[in-house]
Structures are given as C-alpha cells and as structure tokens.
Amino acid sequence: MDNKSRNKVMVLEAEEEVGGGEFEHLPEGCIANIVSFTTPPDACVLSLVSSSFRSASVTDFVWERFLPSDYQAIISQSSKPSTLTNYSSKKDLYLHLCHNPLLIDAGKKSFALDKLNGKICYMLSARSLSIVWGDTPRYWRWTSVPAARFSEVAELVSVCWLEIKGGIKSGTLSEKTLYGAYLVFKQRSGGAYGFYNQPVEVSVEGRRRTVYLEEAETPRRPREQIVPGIFSRVRSRFLDSFDAAPPPPRLC
C-alpha cells in the first residue's frame, strides 16, 4: 500500500473514532432539511442522536414545516394574534397549538393541531351550525356553560324534529387525511326524554348511517357524549388517501 492510500485509511479511521459518522460532517442546514421531511415525533427522536441532530431538529426551519402553510392567516383570525406570533420558537408555537385550541371566526370555531402529526383539527360551535328551530325559545335555549370551549351553547328544550347541520370547506383541512365528524353533547342528570334507544340518521356528503344518541345499556348520568357514527372519508382531490400506521412514539 502506498503512502497516499495509507493516509486515506488513517483519515477514515480517525473520523470513525470520533463517533459522529458521515452525518456529523453535514451542515446543520442540510440536516434540518432532512429532518423537516419526517414527523414531529421523529424530529424529537432524531434530536437524541447527536449534538448536530439536536441543534438541527429544534430549528424554526424544521418546525415551521410541521405547521400548516397558512398558520399565520389562521392565527390572525384569533382575538389575540400577537401573543402567538411572539413565541420564541416555532416548536413552542406548534406545541401551544396542540394543547390550546385557538378560537377563531369571532369565537364560533376552534382550531388546533394533532400533536403527533400536525394535522389540522376544527371544532364548530353550536352558533356555527344550522339547527332547525334554533332561534325559537320554545324549542331551544342559548346559554353558557363554564366548562365549555365556546361562550354559547344550545340547550334543547323540546322538539318533535331534531335536525342539525354543519359544514366546513375541505380546502381548510389537511391534505391526504381521513377525517371524522363527531357530534359532541352533554346530557343533564336523568338523561333526556326521547333519546333513549331511538335511532338517529347521520350523514356526511350523502353517505348515511344510523346511530344511537343514547343506547339502552347506557347508564343515565351527567356526561359528555361523542357520537362516532358520523364518520366518513372526505372525498376531495385534496384529501385523497390515508395510510394506516402503528401509533408513533410519544412527542417531546
């Protein structure tokens, strides 16, 4: 082996002894770009690999890629946008939006992010729904509940026909995502007359199915109900696929 080849081997051995591997010699910006194509849990795991990965994985460049592309426009719809735009890092902003739903649309809608994948989540207030006879005090009462997310909730007094409709533009949702639509309500102590073991028809984009708001075996006590029957793949060129996968690791 000539001296030139021997020197190359010695250099490689010296690099391996440092323990950084080839990735250690990449610029931080290059590593950050690679990490930005992963997911928030992956970025947290990669931050444990080495100091280079740690510094790259927490950069604003990475976490801004995990935020929706129009997050600034969404934040501007809240009552206090300045408190969110002043976050010291995009990672802190991301985690805040995961744990603290943001009221937008004059308080009629809430926006949040799914912690594990950054997908957009919306909740519509009762005021943003179309409720048959909703403005007739004989049938519905508008009130407030301390634990509620929204300032007003609709309290059902008595109706012979229960019909509630809601909608959201598919363009405001995350791409390539399977969404579920849920009706969330709370019953008073003793339940509610007329719900007991009565079938209810629900539909999303014309796909209909029957569910029960209160089944025969459901205990009668105050509780929050989430009706999971309103569940459908959103048909849209923006939301066109869903890949099932095992639960990802815990997000840091």
Q: Where are the domains of the chain?
A: 1-66, 130-158
pLDDT for 198: 80
The DSSP secondary structure of 27-50, one letter per residue, reads: -HHHHHHHHTTS-HHHHHHHTTT-
3-class secondary structure, 227: strand
pLDDT for 234: 34
pLDDT for 74: 94
The H or E element that residue 224 is part of is strand 223-227
Radius of gyration of the chain (CA): 25
Cα 33 from Cα 27, distance rounded (Å):
10
Question: CB-based contacts of 47: which residues, under 8 Å, 6+ apart?
Answer: 53, 54, 57, 58, 252
pLDDT for 2: 54
Sign of the Cα pseudo-torsion (149, 93, 120, 73, in order): positive
pLDDT for 197: 77
Q: Tokens standing for 206?
A: 């014309």
pLDDT for 3: 53
Low-confidence ranges of the chain (pLDDT < 50): 5-20, 218, 220-224, 227-252
pLDDT for 174: 93
The DSSP secondary structure of 83-132, one letter per residue, reads: HHHT-S-HHHHHHHHHHSPEEETTTTEEEEE-TTT--EEEEE-GGGSEET
Question: CB-based contacts of 252: which residues, under 8 Å, 6+ apart?
Answer: 44, 47
Neighbouring CB atoms inside 10 A of 181's CB total 20
pLDDT for 212: 80
Which is it for strands 199-204 and 207-212: parallel, antiparallel or unpaired? antiparallel
